[in-house]
Structure 1
Amino acid sequence: MRPQPHAPHDKKEALDRALAALRDVVVAYSGGVDSAFLAACAHENLGRRALAVTAVSPSLARRELDAARALAAKRGWNHMTVGTHEVAREAYARNDSDRCYWCKTELFDVLEPIARDRNAAILVGTNLDDLGDFRPGLKAAAERGVQAPLADVRLTKEEIRALSEDFGLPTAEKPASPCLASRFAYGVRVTPEGLRRIEGAEDLLRSLGFDVLRVRDHGDIARIEVPSEAIEAAVARRAEISEGLRSLGFRYVTIDLDGFRSGSMNAVLSAPTIGVPEL
């Protein structure tokens, strides 16, 4: 067995070798840190034989789509967009804990004919850190034989950011931006209207100067997450925030005192811990 590379640049060399050995590839490209880095590496090694494909649906914020298109055009990547319809799938819309599985199933259903026509492998930007997280979409990828070359060479998110900076990619410091459906509490139905409401709510917060944030949809309740150091600023603008989010249809607007944290909706998937004070 070939020893695993350890230094980030050694891992990048291993990634280049793996990509160069492929005939053609279709990269699932959302415009995030990982998929942008993978698209850049695929283009570097394969040129026009690498096709970056962005799935367009109500789950992808328009600002993310615009940024993905602009980056691909600036870098000269072979890029296309395709429509996906995960929201029309009942298993996705009902928003159980396996929602991401059905999202990726829809994505691969759309990408497979494109890859088949090109005799290409489908690649995703899963990194090493993702393998230890709760990600039902990994099961869908495994079922379809989708390849995750970043994880295969054991690249972490931090390493991908550093290598992206070396590449001159503007995504090197980009905050994580998962799909809009990740803002919905499990059990709250995902609808196109609800996705637009979340997008509008987060756009409002950004217009007020908050760059790192989530607006979580708990039905009638909007739960705002900003970094702990920005909570005071959010409270100071509570009137504007509350008025704006209520105009979008939320009845109650709250600020989470625990601050911003990725994947906070997954906290309900583990058994609750109830502390009982000593008498």
Structure 2
Amino acid sequence: MEHRLADRVRALGGPVAVAYSGGADSALVLAAAARVLGPEQVLAVTAVSESLADGELLAARRLADDLGVTHLTPRTHESALPGYRANGPDRCYFCKSEVLDTIAALAHEHGFETVATGTNADDAADPYRPGIRAGRERGIRTPLLDAGLTKAEVRRLSRHWSLPTWNKPATPCLASRVRYGIEVTPYRLARVDRAEAAVRTLLAEAGLQVTDLRVRDLGDRARVEVDPALVSRAAALPALGEVLAAAGFAALPHQVEPFRSGRLNTEP
């Protein structure tokens, strides 16, 4: 597994810019590139916009610093794209196009002609990944996918290398919390971000350690999704409605249900 990934990184053929979200997948690509090519041959680029959850950038910067890799954080403007704001099932295509175009242009300015992402073998098998098409159209490299690494293998190798992201829960962009067909706006994204942070704090104060947490904006209501074992206890917290209201969901009812990744992809 480790050797397969190293071979795919060498096959990149030289300096590489990594589209680096700070999640487990892109962190492993960044670490592998730094190990195989040397930190000076690697550029980490994290796109910053309203869709990036608060706190993610700081954690990403820490790891890049630990790896000795230069880390750039350009602003992206996907919210200016009608296709992104319309929030159809192809929203991720427009977002990823903006992000990758921005990263590629910045990488070129710094002498890096190759851009790689953390797309893994499981991602490629998921029918709800329009962002992957944007990468293919732009010739973006995918060393994890090329090495055949699944998410489980990404976590296993990350743990072997003592990367702090080895067990980090998936943290997709905040727009993924908004039901398709509801316009994505900076206000909605900020509201979801505030709500998730507040609910996580509330659960921790109640002694409930949550791994996966989402606050979904369903238009007419908010849905809090947590680990299945925590649903009944989270729903029973008297202050849950208060923290959601303070975050911006005051006029909407809420429900608490088990977390399921990609749930909005399969709902009408």
Structure 2 residue aligned with 1:110:
102
Q: Does 1:82 align with 2:80?
A: no
Q: Secondary structure at the match of 1:107?
A: helix
Q: Once the 2 structures are TM-superposed, how far is the Cα of residue 254 of structure 1 from its aligned partner? A: 2.5
Deviations 1:167-223 (A, max 9, x none): 110111111110111000001111111111000000011102234210000124110
Q: Once the 2 structures are TM-superposed, how far is the Cα of residue 75 of structure 1 from its aligned partner? A: 2.5
Q: Once the 2 structures are TM-superposed, how far is the Cα of residue 249 of structure 1 from its aligned partner? A: 2.8
Identity of aligned residues (%): 46
For residues 268-279 of structure 1, the aligned pairs below 5 Å read 268=267
**Cα distance in 1 for residues equivalent to 2:253 and 2:148:** 41
For residues 201-240 of structure 1, the aligned pairs below 5 Å read 201-208=195-202, 209=204, 210-237=210-237, 239-240=238-239
User: Which of 115, 120, 141 in structure 1 is aligned with 2:113?
Assistant: 120
For residues 175-214 of structure 1, the aligned pairs below 5 Å read 175-208=169-202, 209=204, 210-214=210-214
> What amino acid is aligned across from residue 227 of structure 1 in structure 2?
D
> What amino acid is aligned across from residue 53 of structure 1 in structure 2?
V
> What amino acid is aligned across from residue 241 of structure 2 in structure 1?
S
Structure 2 residue aligned with 1:161:
155
Q: Secondary structure at the match of 2:184?
A: coil
**Cα distance in 1 for residues equivalent to 2:261 and 2:222:** 16
**Cα distance in 2 for residues equivalent to 1:255 and 1:221:** 8
Contact 2:17 / 2:112 at 8 angstroms: preserved in 1? Answer: no
**Count of aligned pairs between the two proteins:** 257
Deviations 1:93-122 (A, max 9, x none): 110110000001101210222233314211
Structure 1 residue aligned with 2:5:
15
Deviations 1:43-66 (A, max 9, x none): 111121111100000100121111
**Cα distance in 2 for residues equivalent to 1:71 and 1:101:** 27
Q: Secondary structure at the match of 2:199?
A: helix
Contact 1:245 / 1:253 at 8 angstroms: preserved in 2? Answer: no
Closer/same/farther in 2, CA of residues 236 and 268 from structure 1, 3 Å limit: closer
> What amino acid is aligned across from residue 41 of structure 1 in structure 2?
A
Closer/same/farther in 2, CA of residues 200 and 119 from structure 1, 3 Å limit: closer
Structure 2 residue aligned with 1:242:
241
RMSD: 1.3
Q: Runs of 5+ in structure 1 lacking a partner?
A: 1-8, 270-279
Q: Does 1:25 align with 2:24?
A: no
Contact 1:246 / 1:253 at 8 angstroms: preserved in 2? Answer: no
Q: Which deviates more from structure 2 when the two are superposed, residues 114-123 or residues 46-55?
A: 114-123
**Cα distance in 2 for residues equivalent to 1:263 and 1:68:** 23
**Cα distance in 2 for residues equivalent to 1:253 and 1:42:** 47
**Cα distance in 2 for residues equivalent to 1:62 and 1:88:** 20
Q: Once the 2 structures are TM-superposed, how far is the Cα of residue 38 of structure 1 from its aligned partner? A: 0.5
TM score, norm. by length of structure 1: 0.88
**Cα distance in 2 for residues equivalent to 1:96 and 1:86:** 14
Q: Does 1:62 align with 2:54?
A: yes
**Cα distance in 2 for residues equivalent to 1:155 and 1:147:** 14
Contact 2:195 / 2:244 at 8 angstroms: preserved in 1? Answer: yes
> What amino acid is aligned across from residue 33 of structure 1 in structure 2?
A
Structure 2 residue aligned with 1:272:
none
Structure 2 residue aligned with 1:36:
27
Q: Secondary structure at the match of 1:56?
A: coil
> What amino acid is aligned across from residue 255 of structure 1 in structure 2?
Q
Deviations 1:214-263 (A, max 9, x none): 000012411010111001221221x3111111223322332344x00110
Q: Runs of 5+ in structure 2 lacking a partner?
A: 205-209
Structure 2 residue aligned with 1:261:
260
